[in-house]
Structures are given as C-alpha cells and as structure tokens.
C-alpha cells in the first residue's frame, strides 16, 4: 500500500510539473530525444537487432523441425526393431479348429 501511495504521489507531481512546463518544454525534450537517437544510431541498431532476431528464429525453427523429424524417424525405426524382436522371442501358438 505504501508503494502505491508513493507511486501515485510521484505521478501527480510529475503531471503538475509537466503541465506547468507546457508545450515548449515538451517539444525540446522530444527534439533532444530525436537528436540523441539519430546521433547514436539507435534506429539502425534496432533494425539490425530485429533482422538478426528474425534470422535466428528462422534458423532455430528449421533446426528444431529437422531434429524432431529425425527423432520421430529414429523412434519409429526403434519401435519396428523392438516389435520384430518381440515377434522372434514369442512362440506362436497354432490354433486348431
């Protein structure tokens, strides 16, 4: 409860200070942020990170798909081997009619 009260008080103080500063102060803050991001190259870095993330996702998806497919094929072959082994070890009873 104390944290909520502190958060509310901080938000109210920020609102009042922001409202008193007015539109020119807001415009200066936005302009400063735009200069900072363009100077540092954050837009390009963000694009590079997004591209790398998509490439990584595609690679992981392909690798997982291949691994699951190979594991499924190996499991199926293993089951066939076990079934053949059980068939060989189990004596067959001949039904007489």
Give the pLDDT score at 22. 79
Across residues 42-49, what is the average pLDDT? 82
Pick the residue with more confidence: 41 or 50? Answer: 50
How far is CA 84 from each of CA 58, 74, 77, 87, 95, rounded to the nearest angstrom?
39, 15, 11, 5, 22
* Angstrom distance (rounded) from CA 85 to CA 83: 5
Is pLDDT at 68 greater than 70 in this prediction?
A: yes
Mean of the per-residue pLDDT values of the chain:
81
Q: Which residues contact 36 (CB under 8 A, 6 or more apart)?
A: 42
Question: Under a CB-based contact definition with an 8 Å cutoff, are residues 43 and 37 in contact?
Answer: yes
Across residues 73-92, what is the average pLDDT? 80
Pick the residue with more confidence: 52 or 40? Answer: 52
pTM of the model: 0.41
């Amino acid at each position: 409860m104390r944290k909520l009260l502190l958060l509310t008080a901080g938000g109210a103080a920020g609102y009042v200070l922001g409202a008193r500063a007015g539109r020119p102060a807001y415009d200066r803050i936005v302009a400063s942020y735009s200069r900072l991001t363009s100077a540092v190259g954050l837009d390009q870095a963000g694009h590079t990170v997004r591209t790398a993330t998509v490439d990584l996702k595609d690679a992981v998806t392909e690798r997982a798909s291949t691994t699951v497919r190979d594991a499924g094929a190996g499991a199926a072959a293993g089951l066939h081997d076990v079934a053949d082994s059980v068939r060989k070890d189990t004596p067959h009873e001949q039904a007489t009619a």
